[in-house]
Structure formats: C-alpha cells, structure tokens
C-alpha cells in the first residue's frame, strides 16, 4: 500500500483519540520538509489553542505571546479569516511587504527561531478553523511539489475528518488538551531529519538496507550511516527497539 494512503488511513483510525493530531502530522509530513510543526485551533471570539507541537527549541513562553494577541497579526491567521482556506500557503506568499520590519516579526516571530514557514489552513465550521504550520530554523521549508497535487486533492477529506474528530470529542465531552500533546514517539520522530524519517518509514515497511539504498538512489554505506545516526538520536541500539518505539504510535501502520 502507498505510504501516503496508509498514513491517511491512520488519521481516520485515530478520530476521537489523543493520537489524532500526531497522526495528522504524520500524514502531512510526506508533503513538507521541515524541522518544527505546530497545530492550532482557531475559534471565533477566543484565543487560539495549541493542540500539538513538535519543536526543538521554541518555548511555551514564546507560544504564549502568540496566543495572547500576536496571532492577530499573523499572515496565516489573517488569510484564514479572509477566506483563504483549504489550500497550502507559504510565508513568502502571505507576508506583507516589509514583514521583517513589522512589530509582529520583531516582538514575536524572530523569537521562535523559525526562518521560514508553510501551513495548511482548514475552515472546519463557520466558527472554527484549524491551522497546521511547518517551520524550519535553518532553511526554506521544502514543499514537495510532485506530491502537492495529491495533498490538495485530499484536503477536502482531511477537512471532513478533522471536523468529525472535533464534533465527536465535543459530543463525548472529552476535554481537548490546551497544552501540547505529550507523545514520546511523535517527539522522537521530529528529532530526526526529513531524510532520516524517510528511512525510518522504509525500515518500518520491511525494507532492508540494500532495498533502501536502491529506492533512494544512495549508497549502502550512506544508508548505514543514516541508521547509525538515527539510533544515536533516538538513544536505541537495535532495529527491534526502533519498531517498539514507532509501532506504538499511529504515525505509521504496517499491513
């Protein structure tokens, strides 16, 4: 089964569970190359709520600046309010002229450490929207254009599933966490580089090092170096430990 189809299936399976937003990020990471990600709920008349974040450096104190009012000047938030939803946007598309001289940039954005950003904006109901944002502290956020058409085609389904998740959670009176979701596997995943996450996916799909080298058009030695780095970053010593760590989370499923 195609990895992206598997991941989208995992998102649907995670509806009404605490793993929903981790699964949603797991699906969307196939379309972006990024270092950090954060999911916000935007509700009419209320400050945005952080549903999940996987950031290496950005502190909760910086995110509180956003939630306490900086969001009103956020180009992505303004785009959502202006009807720009159901698509993928980049900071370069939305940032106004002179963005790097604005109060928003000086007082908030530069404190995040993000240098570039892309986001998916979903208007779930007239009163509720969802923003999934991807950032990079070192380079431009890569949007994988060969797959971008597939993402745009899937956004209608993604929006419906996210709306269903919200409605089920409210109907069941399940508290939605206002703090980022604590998920050790999800946090570990985003400690890896995009290439390392790609290799982890292939390992979890049952590929050996030689098969990975052939699929990614890299040498066997490069694959082995990546595996060594992955094990070091995750503080594990074997493939069995890798499976144990990641198969406990719906970010990936095996047949």
| Cα–Cα distance for residue pair 156/126, rounded to 1 Å | 16
Q: What is the pLDDT of residue 204?
A: 81
Q: Is the pLDDT of residue 199 over 70?
A: yes
pLDDT score at 247: 64
Q: What is the pLDDT of residue 207?
A: 84
pLDDT recorded at residue 218 = 92
Q: How far apart are CA 53 and CA 73, in angstroms?
A: 20
Q: Percent of the chain scored above 90 by pLDDT? A: 34
Q: Is 51 helix (H, G, I), strand (E, B) or coil?
A: strand
Quote helix, strand, coil % in the chain, to nearest 5: 50, 15, 35
Percent of the chain with pLDDT over 70: 85
Please state the pTM of the whole predicted model.
Answer: 0.69
How does pLDDT run across 216-255, given as a tens digit for each residue? 999 999 999 999 999 998 888 888 778 777 765 433 333 3
pLDDT for 12 beyond 50: yes
DSSP conformation letters of 2-71: -HHHHHHHHHHHTTTSTTHHHHHHHHHTTTEE-SEEEEEEEETTS--EEEEEE-SS--HHHHHHHHTTGG
pLDDT value of residue 251 = 37
Average pLDDT, the chain: 83
pLDDT at 180: 43
pLDDT digits (tens, 9 = 90+) for 33-82: 888 899 999 998 888 999 988 876 667 788 888 998 999 999 999 999 88
**Angstrom distance (rounded) from CA 231 to CA 242:** 8
Higher pLDDT, 186 or 142: 142
Range with the poorest average pLDDT among 95-104, 138-147, 161-170: 138-147
């Amino acid at each position: 089964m195609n990895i992206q189809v598997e991941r989208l299936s995992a998102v649907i399976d995670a509806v009404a569970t605490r793993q929903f937003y981790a699964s949603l990020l797991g699906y969307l990471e196939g379309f972006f190359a990024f270092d950090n990600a954060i999911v916000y709920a935007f509700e009419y008349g209320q400050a945005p709520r952080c549903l999940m974040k996987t950031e290496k450096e950005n502190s909760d104190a910086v995110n509180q600046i956003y939630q306490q009012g900086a969001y009103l000047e956020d180009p992505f938030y303004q785009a959502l309010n202006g009807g720009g939803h159901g698509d993928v946007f980049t900071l370069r598309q939305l940032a106004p002229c002179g963005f790097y001289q604005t109060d928003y940039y000086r007082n908030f954005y530069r404190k995040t450490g993000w240098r570039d950003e892309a986001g998916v904006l979903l208007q779930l109901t007239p009163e509720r929207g969802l923003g999934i944002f991807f950032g990079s502290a070192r380079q431009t956020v890569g949007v994988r254009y060969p797959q971008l058409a597939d993402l745009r085609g899937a956004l209608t389904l993604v929006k419906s599933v996210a709306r269903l998740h919200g409605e089920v959670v409210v109907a069941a009176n399940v508290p939605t966490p206002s703090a980022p979701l604590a998920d050790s596997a999800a946090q570990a995943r985003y400690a890896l580089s995009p290439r390392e996450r790609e290799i982890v996916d292939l390992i979890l799909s049952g590929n050996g090092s030689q098969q990975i080298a052939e699929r990614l058009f890299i040498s066997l030695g490069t694959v082995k170096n990546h595996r060594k780095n992955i094990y070091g970053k995750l503080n594990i010593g074997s493939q069995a430990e890798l499976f144990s760590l990641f198969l406990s989370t719906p970010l990936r499923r095996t047949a």
